[in-house]
């Protein structure tokens, strides 16, 4: 929408401009390269110690949940789904195998993300009004 609003793309175009696609790929790749390992470590080691079979079960359970939700038209977050599956795998071993403080911090981060994003968007909007 931003590309259309600024005139860099047309609403009837079949695809976004190539430079936009490449820029997005680079940004996603850089984010994964520099910050992705922290997420993998948190999911696989800090919430609960995952063994390969536990990781397989969590991924399979998460995938089945996503397929079912998609089939019935319920919008779900893949991050929330896989985190819940990992907590489920850990709690099957024993409830104390899950570090509930880490899981709680993740949930709080999800809750604060929405108002924080709204705040940043509002600041960007007001700054853009002064610039343009």
pLDDT(69) > 90: yes
Domain annotation covers residue 102: no
pLDDT(110) > 90: no
Q: What is the mean pLDDT of residues 64-82?
A: 92
Count up the domains in the chain and report the number. Answer: 1
Q: Distance of CA 123 to CAs 77, 120, 131, Å?
A: 26, 5, 12
Domain annotation covers residue 14: yes
Domain annotation covers residue 49: no
CB 99 within 8 A of CB 46: yes
pTM beyond 0.85: no
Q: What is the mean pLDDT of residues 80-87?
A: 91
Give the residue numbers spanning the domain of 33. Answer: 1-43
Domain annotation covers residue 121: no
Domain annotation covers residue 78: no
Domain annotation covers residue 106: no
Among all chains, which residue has been given the structure tokens 């893949």?
A: 78
Q: How many helices (H) and strands (E) does the chain have?
A: 5, 0
pLDDT(50) > 90: no
Q: Whole-number mean pLDDT of the chain? A: 90
pLDDT(1) > 90: no
Residue 45 banded pLDDT, cuts 50, 70, 90: confident
Domain annotation covers residue 9: yes
pLDDT(108) > 90: yes
Residue 60 banded pLDDT, cuts 50, 70, 90: very high
Domain annotation covers residue 129: no
């Amino acid at each position: 929408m931003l590309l259309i609003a600024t005139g860099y793309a047309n609403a009837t175009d079949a695809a976004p401009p190539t430079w936009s696609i490449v820029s997005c790929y680079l940004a996603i790749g850089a984010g994964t390269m520099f910050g992705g390992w922290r997420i993998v470590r948190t999911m696989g080691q800090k919430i609960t110690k995952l063994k390969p079979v536990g990781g397989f079960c969590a991924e399979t359970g998460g995938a089945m949940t996503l397929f079912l939700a998609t089939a019935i038209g319920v919008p779900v977050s893949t991050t929330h789904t896989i985190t819940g599956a990992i907590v489920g795998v850990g709690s099957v071993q024993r409830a104390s195998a899950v570090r509930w403080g880490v899981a709680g911090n993740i949930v709080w981060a999800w809750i604060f993300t929405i108002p924080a994003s709204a705040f940043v968007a509002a600041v960007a909007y007001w700054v853009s009004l002064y610039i343009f």
